[in-house]
Every structure is written in C-alpha cells, then in structure tokens.
Amino acid sequence: MGLVGMPNVGKTTLFSALSRVEAEVSNYPFCTIDRNQAVVPVPDPRLETLADIFGQEKRTPTTIEFIDIAGLVRGASEGQGLGNQFLGHIRQVDAIAHVLRCFEQADVAHVESTVDPLRDLELVEVELALADLATVERRMKRTGERRHQAPEEYEAENEVLAELAEGLRRGEPVRRAELPDEAQPLVRELFLLTAKPVLWIANVAEADLAGGSPLADQVRARAEAQGIPCLTVCAKLEADLADLPEEEAAEFIEELELPASGLDQVIEESYRLLDLITFFTAVGAEARAWTLRRGGTAEEAAGKIHTDMAKGFIKAEVGAFDELAKAGSWQALKDAGRVRLHGRDYVVQDGDVLIIRFSS
Ligand SMILES: Nc1nc2c(ncn2[C@@H]2O[C@H](COP(=O)(O)OP(=O)(O)OP(=O)(O)O)[C@@H](O)[C@H]2O)c(=O)[nH]1
Ligand SMILES: [Mg+2]
C-alpha cells in the first residue's frame, strides 16, 4: 500500500502512526526523500478467539506493508519536484492510499498556497494520468515498430492502447475506463499508476473529527460519486495516540468520544482494497493469521506457511471460523461433521481454519 499525495498533507505523519516508529516529519515540503517502508499488523478479533479456543498464548497477526512516498507536485510527470523517482515508487505498490489535506494550519506551508483537497486530488490524478500516458505512448511506438512483423497482434494491441490514451488525455484514470477483458493482461503488463485500486484519506484537524469538516465532506461526496472508499482521519492525533501505551490511548479515545481508531480503519480498508483474504492456522503453541489473494487455493495457502508444505501437500482439514467459534472446539466441529477434507485445488475462503497434511 503506497501513501500518495501532495507535499505537507500528512503522509509521513500517518505513516509514522502506522509504523509506530518516528519517521522524519517536518513542516517543509519534500522532507521524505527515501521511501519509508513499514510492515503493519492487521487487527483481526478472530485471531484472539481462535487462540482462546486452541489454548494458545502466541498470536501472530498477518501483516500489510505500507510505503510512505514523497509528495507529488504539479509537473511531476515531467520531472518537477522529485517527480520521476517518486512515480517509480508508486509503480511498485499494489494499491494507493491518497492522502488529502483538509486541515488548515498557517504554519504548515501548502505548495499550492491554499487548502483545497479537490484541487489537490485532481492535480495528483492528472500527474499520474500524464505519467501513464507517457507509458502508453512509449508502448504504442514499440508496437508500431512491429507492425509489419505481426500485423494482427499490432491491430489488437494498438486498439487497446489508443483507447487508454484517449481517456488519459482527458485526465481520466484507467481504473474508470471500461475495457474488455482481453485488455487486462496488457494493462497489467504496463503497471499503470491509475489502474491501481485507490482509497482516499481526508486528513482533518483534530477539532473537526467530531464536529465534521466541510472540506472532508467535499472529498466524501466525490468519493461516493466515483465509488471510491474514503476515510476521515486526523493523522496528527493518530501519531500522538500511537506514542501512548495502549490503555492510555483507549482512555483518550473514549474521553474525546472519537470513533474507533482511525489507524485500524486505514489498515482494514487497505486490506479490503487489496482484495486479500485471511486464513488461520492453530498448530502447536501458535495461532496465526495469514494472507492469501482472493481465489487462492489450499496448495497456495500451504505455500505461504512453508514451501515444503506446498510441495508435499496431501490434504487440508478445513473448518470455517464462524462455525468453529459456535462449536467451541475443533473436536466439537469435527463431531458435527463440519471439518472437511479438501485437496490442493480447494479455493480457500476468508476465515477458513486450515490444518495441512503433507509429507516431507
Ligand atoms: N494540524 C495538523 N497538522 C498536521 C496533520 N497531519 C500532518 N500535519 C502537519 O503537517 C506537516 C507536514 O506533515 P508530513 O506528514 O511531513 O507531510 P507529508 O505529506 O509527508 O509531506 P512530504 O513528505 O513533504 O510530501 C507537519 O508539520 C505535520 O505535523 C493534521 O492532521 N493536523
Ligand atoms: Mg513525507
């Protein structure tokens, strides 16, 4: 997950809250030069229940990786700011969290002088679209050069590329283009920035968290119209809370009558956006949550745990978490006939508890 946005909108502040480490924060634009990476645990109450059922002390959540990317400015697609380098960083992430500044704070400079999240949103989207357009045009040139060798391939590919280019010239992200299924492999191959799934994060002042913010409302309305997930957080408060011991933070949240942790929302929404599912294991002394792409098989799941498990895969015993929680124990679930034996091609479901049988 990449944190993207204009300079001084609060990306690094949010990132340091996420990573619970102090990344460098300053009120000068471009303080993030190298990208920062953090591996963040994904909160999941099911893991606690599972560990209690199996009587395990050790609980290992699954994780998601966040990358704090430096601010993007007008002209980034042509190399302004630290343009190209950062666009390269965005290219490597699976999904984007676009942070939008909705807080006014006189001593924090805005590179465009005023606080206007919708303008910022469009500005960044246009830069990303222009960067994609350059990618598409380069590819068109290459495709064109092969026109005589493979005319049919050329035609098909050129058609898709032309359509992509047309939308991008209007500043429209590729994710909004209605492309035929045949176009998808090419889109994937091009690693287009605007094809990545995105969520918007309205970063508001602490005072606006409870009272509401007209600027965040603007962002939310736009998000709803475009079907994009949108969250409101106060990055600064999240960073402050992350520094407190857990109990104090919880008291603080209650006192201020804040909604559930904004950070958890960011993590959970990101996980959903990446289209990942969670499966569980509870073997030996450890209950553990694991990540799998939606549609992944039992064999792939085994491979997440250990390559030997995938290689020597025999069968998987599978129980659904909800049924297990109701049954109260694995044995009770078994007695009820709700533990199934599946082969390597079984498509793992979110919440499955797996016991893999394998030969080593
Ligand atoms: N009042 C207020 N200030 C904030 C909030 N979030 C960030 N800031 C301040 O804004 C300034 C910039 O924050 P950063 O997190 O460094 O911004 P950035 O988006 O990483 O900026 P670049 O790395 O330059 O692209 C810092 O002084 C933060 O303390 C917020 O929610 N409320
Ligand atoms: Mg930063």
Residue spans of the domains in the chain: they are 1-43+64-275, 295-358
pLDDT 10s digits, 135-183: 999 999 988 888 888 888 788 889 999 999 999 999 889 998 888 888 8
**Protein residues near ligand 2, an ion, with CB under 5 A:** 11-12, 32
In testing the pocket of ligand 1, which one of 3, 18, 25 has its CB within 8 Å of the most ligand atoms? 25
Q: Quote the pLDDT of residue 197.
A: 95
Q: Quote the pLDDT of residue 55.
A: 94
Percent of the chain residues past pLDDT 90, beyond the cut: 58
- Length of the chain counted residue by residue: 360
1-43+64-275 and 295-358 have identical folds? no
Q: What is the mean pLDDT of residues 341-354?
A: 97
Where would I find the H helices in the chain?
11-19, 45-54, 83-91, 117-145, 151-169, 184-190, 206-211, 214-226, 235-243, 246-255, 262-273, 298-305, 307-311, 321-327, 330-335
Average the pLDDT over each of 106-120, 263-277, 298-312, 323-337 and give the range with the smallest value: 106-120
Quote the ligand 1 centre to 215 CA distance (angstroms).
17
User: How does DSSP classify residue 98?
Assistant: E
Q: What is the mean pLDDT of residues 239-256?
A: 83
Do 275 and 199 meet the contact criterion of CB atoms below 8 Å apart?
A: no
For ligand 1, atom 22, the nearest C-alpha belongs to 7
For residue 34, pLDDT beyond 60 = no
Average the pLDDT over each of 46-60, 74-88, 335-349 and give the range with the smallest value: 74-88
Q: State which ligand 1 atom lies nearest to the alpha carbon of 9.
A: 19
Which of the ligands is closest to the CA of residue 8? 1
Ligand 1 cavity residues, CB under 6 Å? 5, 7-13, 25-27, 29-32, 70-71, 103, 105, 108, 203, 205, 234-236
Q: How confident is the model at residue 22 (pLDDT cuts 50, 70, 90)?
A: very low
Q: Which two tokens stand for residue 95?
A: 């999904």
Question: Which CATH superfamily groups domain 1-43+64-275?
Answer: P-loop containing nucleotide triphosphate hydrolases (3.40.50.300)
DSSP 10-28: SHHHHHHHHHTS-----SS
Q: Quote the pLDDT of residue 359.
A: 93
For residue 68, pLDDT beyond 60 = yes
Mean pLDDT of the chain: 88
Q: How many Å separate Cα 267 from the centre of its chain?
A: 8
Nearest Cα to Cα of residue 6 among 132, 117, 169:
117
Quote the ligand 1 centre to 21 CA distance (angstroms).
15
Which of the ligands is closest to the CA of residue 71? 1
Give how far Cα 111 sits from Cα of 30, 75, 108, 124, Å.
10, 12, 10, 13
Do 42 and 78 meet the contact criterion of CB atoms below 8 Å apart?
A: no
- What angle, rounded to 10 degrees, do the helices at 246-255 and 235-243 form? 140
Report the CATH fold assignment for 295-358. Ubiquitin-like (UB roll) (3.10.20)
Q: Quote the pLDDT of residue 221.
A: 96
pLDDT 10s digits, 83-95: 566 788 888 899 9
Quote the ligand 1 centre to 104 CA distance (angstroms).
11
- Higher pLDDT pick, 220 / 39: 220
Q: Quote the pLDDT of residue 133.
A: 94
* DSSP bridge partners of 357: 315
For residue 26, pLDDT beyond 70 = no
Cα diameter, the chain: 71
Q: State which ligand 1 atom lies nearest to the alpha carbon of 239.
A: 6
Which residues are within 8 A (CB) of 125 and not within 5 positions of it... i.e. 6 or more apart? 171, 173, 194
Do 247 and 241 meet the contact criterion of CB atoms below 8 Å apart?
A: no
Question: How many C-alpha atoms does 59 have within 13 Å on its Cβ side?
Answer: 18
